[in-house]
Amino acid sequence: MCRLFGFRSAIPAAVHPALVTEKNSLLIQSREHKDGWGIAAYGVEPAPVVAHGVGPAHSDPDFQRVSSRVSSHTVVAHIRLASVGAVELRNSHPFLHGRWSFVHNGTLREFAKHRAAVEALICPSLRGNIKGTTDSERCFYLFLTRLAARHSIDRQVSVEAVARALAETMSLVAAITDVPGQAERSAMNFLVSDGSTMVATRRHRTLFVSTNGSRNEVATLPAPGTKLEQLVVASESLCGGPYWAPVPEEDIIGVDANLVFHRWRVTELVGTDLLPPVKTDASRSVA
C-alpha cells in the first residue's frame, strides 16, 4: 500500500500545504507509509525535476525542504509502504520515462507468480528501461507500451489516449492476476502525467478529487467538460470537511492540457482491439 498525490493548476502554485501542513498531509500519512517518498515537479523543460528519498517523509528533512520549494503547474508525489520490492531508490515512485511520470497505490495479486506474464506484455524496447523490482514500475512500462501502440510517446497525446492506455493496462493485468469469483483483486490506483494532461484510475483503493484546493463547496465530481482552475487527486482527503469527492470504483478521471475535466468507466475504453501489434520501436507511431 502507498499513497499518491497529483496536482494540476492553470497557474504555478505551491503544494507545501498538501504535502506538509494540511491535517492529513502526505507528511502525516507517511507515519504509516514509511518506506520512501518522491516528488516530481514540471517546469519549463518537458521532463520533470524529481527528488526521491528512501526513509519516512516525516523524518526526512529533504522532504520538507523540497516540498517548501516546489511551485509548479503540475506535481506528482508519492509515499511508499513497500509490498513488492526492497526499500531502495530504484523502487521509489514516481517512475519516469521522458516527459512521463507515474505513481501507483496498490499491489498486483501474487505478483511473483505473474511477473513473467506481465513483463511479456511490455514492448521489448521499453522493457529494457526497467530498473527496479516492483510491480508498479512494470505497470508503468505496460502503460507506455499500450500508449505507444497507437501514438508517439515522445509527443503530447490526448487525455483520452492516456486514459485508454491505462484502462487497457488495468484490464490486461486483471486478466492475468485475478481469479473470477474471488474477492481479492489486484489494486491499481494509477496516476500519470506528462506535465499537461493528468489522469488517475481507481481500482480496489480509495481515491479522492478536489477541484479548488481543499475547499469545494459540494463533494461531487465535476461534470465532464467542465473547465477547471485546479485539480488535486489524492488517495485520502488531505483535510476534514466535505470538500473531497470520491472517485467511483473502476472509474478513470483526468484533465487535458486545457484543464477540462474528463471521466470514463474502464469498460468504456477497452474495446475488442485490446491487443494490437506491439511495436519494436516505441518512440514512433503506428502508421
Q: 74 forms bridges with which residues in the sheet?
A: 8
CA distance linking residue 195 with residue 180, whole number of Å: 37
- Residue 287's Cα: distance from chain center in Å? 29
pTM (2 d.p.): 0.92
Residue for grid cell 523502487: 91
Task: Please classify residue 20 by burial: count the beta carbons closer than 10 Å to its beta carbon, then call 0-12 exposed, 13-18 middle and 19+ buried.
Answer: middle
Return the C-alpha cell found at 179.
481469479
pLDDT in tens, the chain (287 residues): 689 999 999 999 999 888 888 888 898 999 887 888 999 999 989 999 999 998 889 888 998 899 999 999 999 999 987 787 777 889 999 999 999 999 999 999 999 999 999 999 999 999 999 999 999 999 999 999 999 999 999 999 999 999 999 999 999 999 999 998 888 899 999 999 999 999 999 999 999 999 864 454 557 899 999 999 999 999 999 876 668 999 999 999 999 999 999 999 999 999 755 644 443 344 433 32
Alpha helix segments (H runs only) across 130-222: 135-148, 159-177
Coil, helix or strand for 194?
Answer: coil
Domain layout of the chain by residue ranges: 2-269
Please name the fold of domain 2-269.
Answer: Glutamine Phosphoribosylpyrophosphate, subunit 1, domain 1 (3.60.20)
Residues 6+ apart with CB under 8 A from 189: 4, 104, 105, 106, 200, 201, 202, 203, 204, 205, 207, 235
